[in-house]
Amino acid sequence: MALSSSSLIHLTDSRAALDGILSDNFRIKYCRERIWWGMKSMTLHVPMVSFCDIPLSQIKDHLSRYGSYGIGLTREWAVKKGLNPVLYVQRRSNLAHSYEHAITHYEQDDADDDDAIAAFNRIADIARYTKNYEEILERKGESYGMYRFSDEREWRYVPEIGSSCEMYYAEKDITEETLITASESVKDYRLDFDADDIKYIIIASEDELPSFLDSLRDLRRFSSREVERITARVLTAEQIKSDF
Stronger pLDDT, 20 or 40, i.e. the higher one: 20
Ranges of each domain in the chain = 7-243
CA–CA separation, 84 vs 51, rounded Å? 10
Question: 27 pairs with which residues across the strands?
Answer: 190
Tens of pLDDT along 112-150?
Answer: 667 777 777 777 788 899 999 999 887 767 777 899 999
pTM of the model: 0.88
**Range list of β-strands (E), the chain:** 7-12, 26-27, 29-37, 40-52, 69-74, 84-85, 87-89, 130-132, 135-139, 142-147, 154-157, 169-170, 190-191, 198-203, 234-236
Q: Higher-confidence residue: 201 or 161?
A: 201
* Beta-bridge partner residues of 37: 40
Residue 30 has pLDDT above 80, yes or no: yes
For 8, half-sphere exposure in the C-beta direction (CA atoms, 13 angstrom radius) is: 23
pLDDT exceeds cutoff 90 at 164 = no
pLDDT-derived band at 107, boundaries 50, 70, 90: low
pLDDT (tens digit per residue) in 64-84: 888 999 999 999 999 999 999
pLDDT tens-digit map of 168-191: 777 777 788 888 888 888 999 999
Band (14; pLDDT cuts 50, 70, 90)? very high
Flag whether pLDDT at 230 surpasses 90: yes
pLDDT for 37: 86
